[in-house]
């Protein structure tokens, strides 16, 4: 790709830099739990913050906001791993990479041997959770109901169409380099999920993270408007100041979660209205069946 070629052409490095894995989405599909389990493993070093937003041209498909980081130098990207010790395998988890049609190609242009991790979830439930995040936490959607939100912005539903995006990554990187995790499996048997994930990355699969039996990124409602956006930008500001170690310290001591509790509260938003769910199943049916073929597993629970 032209952009990737230009970005690579301008790099002058003493030794090769690579990332060993990239988590690419989907949003609200257990990705924070996956990232937390990766972060805890002693052989793994996650970027700071975990979502660098480097390979995607659009910040989120839901909002269509251009990504200012797209096209920056690789040195800029490397600074998000400045805290990593030599020998650790490195990676990030960015939920904007799955739906951006260019991201897979740019990642492959830089790191063709990197491993890809994809989190997936029942499409209706994912869309509903997405709406609650943008409405109650990020303050980007003022629609009073999920039903009104999906009428106004079809991207809530399009973000739950996975087959084309999963196939794109499989075609580029090969099936053996793509590892898909379903939120259903995390809820049923998290120990097996994380063990298989570690084995996929060739690190000790017997390690058990504290995050294993916990819930990450529970549904939240901001106590203050724009709090979610403040958190997003403040982490990137600290990285620009080369304060990666401070972000690591805040996470390891739990201070980051303490700060989150000041600005947001966990809140349950219940389940999707049964009638709404019934009405939406036909929209997703073809995609679910195509995904069943790609993953070679039964997804009938998503069709109910």
Give CA separation, 112 vs 15, 108, 138, in Å. Answer: 17, 4, 34
Query: Which tokens hold the place of 108?
Result: 């492959």
Cα–Cα distance measured from residue 19 to residue 77, given in angstroms and rounded to the nearest whole number? 10
| Residue 180 C-beta-side C-alpha neighbours within 13 Å | 21
Q: Which of 95, 16, 81, 93 is nearest to 45 (CA)?
A: 81
C-beta separation of 162 from 123 below 8 A: yes
Sign of CA pseudo-dihedral 189, 192, 194, 196: negative
What is the DSSP code (8-state) at residue 118? E
Q: Give me the tens of pLDDT residue by residue for the chain, a chain 304 residues long.
A: 555 655 555 544 456 899 999 999 899 999 999 999 999 999 999 998 888 999 999 887 776 778 888 999 999 999 999 999 999 999 999 999 999 989 999 999 999 999 999 999 999 999 999 888 877 556 566 788 999 999 999 989 999 999 999 999 999 999 999 999 999 999 999 999 999 999 999 999 999 999 988 765 455 444 445 555 555 556 655 556 665 666 666 666 765 665 656 554 465 567 899 999 999 999 999 999 999 999 999 999 999 8
Cα distances (Å, whole numbers) of residue 111 to 8, 12, 108, 255: 11, 16, 5, 34
**Three-class SS state of 21:** strand
* Interatomic CA distance for residues 23 and 21, integer angstroms: 7
CB atoms within 10 A of CB 76: 15
Instruction: Judge residue 265's burial from the number of C-beta atoms within 10 Å of its C-beta, 0-12 exposed, 13-18 middle, 19 or more buried.
Output: middle
Q: Do the Cβ atoms of 277 and 124 come closer than 8 Å?
A: yes
Could you give the CA distance from residue 94 to residue 110 in angstroms, rounded to a whole number? Answer: 16
What's the predicted TM-score (pTM) here? 0.81
* Lookup: tokens for 174: 């090969």
Structure tokens at 64: 């269509």
pLDDT score, position 283: 97
- Work out whether the CA dihedral 26, 30, 34, 39 comes out positive or negative: positive
DSSP-assigned beta bridge partners for residue 201: none
Distance, in Å, from the CA atom of 54 to the CA atom of 80, rounded to the nearest integer, reads 11
Q: Residue 62's closest CA among 145, 126, 116? A: 126
CA angle 8/15/34 to nearest 5° reads: 75
- Helix 31-40 crosses helix 190-200 at what angle (to 10 degrees)? 60
Q: What is the DSSP letter of 73?
A: -
Q: Dihedral of the CA atoms 229, 183, 194, 114 (nearest 10)?
A: -70
Which helix or strand (DSSP H or E) is residue 191 part of? helix 190-200
Record the tokens describing residue 154, joined without a space.
Answer: 């079809």
First to last CA, the chain: 41
């Amino acid at each position: 790709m032209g952009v990737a070629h230009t970005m690579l052409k301008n790099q002058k490095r003493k030794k090769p830099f690579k990332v060993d894995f990239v988590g690419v989405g989907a949003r609200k599909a257990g990705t924070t739990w996956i990232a937390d389990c990766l972060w805890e493993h002693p052989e793994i070093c996650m970027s700071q913050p975990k979502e660098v937003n480097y390979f995607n041209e659009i910040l989120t498909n839901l909002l269509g906001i251009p990504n200012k980081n797209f096209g920056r130098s690789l040195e800029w990207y490397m600074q998000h791993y400045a805290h990593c010790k030599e020998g650790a395998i490195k990676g990030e988890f960015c939920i904007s990479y799955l739906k951006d049609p260019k991201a897979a190609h740019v990642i492959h242009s830089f790191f063709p041997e990197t491993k890809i991790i994809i989190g997936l979830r029942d499409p209706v439930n994912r869309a509903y959770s997405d709406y609650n995040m943008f409405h109650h936490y990020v303050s980007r959607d003022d629609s009073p109901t999920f039903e009104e939100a999906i009428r106004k912005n079809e991207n809530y539903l399009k973000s739950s169409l996975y087959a084309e995006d999963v196939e794109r990554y499989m075609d580029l990187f090969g099936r053996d380099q793509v590892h898909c995790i379903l939120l259903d499996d995390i809820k049923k048997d998290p120990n097996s999920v994380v063990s298989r994930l570690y084995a996929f990355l060739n690190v000790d699969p017997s390690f058990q993270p504290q995050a294993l039996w916990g819930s990450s990124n529970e549904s939240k409602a901001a106590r203050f408007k724009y709090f979610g956006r403040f958190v997003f930008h403040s982490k990137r500001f600290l990285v620009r100041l080369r304060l990666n170690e401070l972000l690591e310290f805040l996470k390891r001591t739990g201070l980051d979660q303490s700060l989150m509790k000041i600005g947001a509260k966990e809140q349950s938003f219940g389940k999707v209205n049964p009638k709404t769910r019934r009405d939406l199943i036909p929209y997703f049916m073809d995609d679910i069946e195509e995904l069943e073929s790609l993953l070679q597993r039964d997804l009938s629970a998503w069709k109910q």
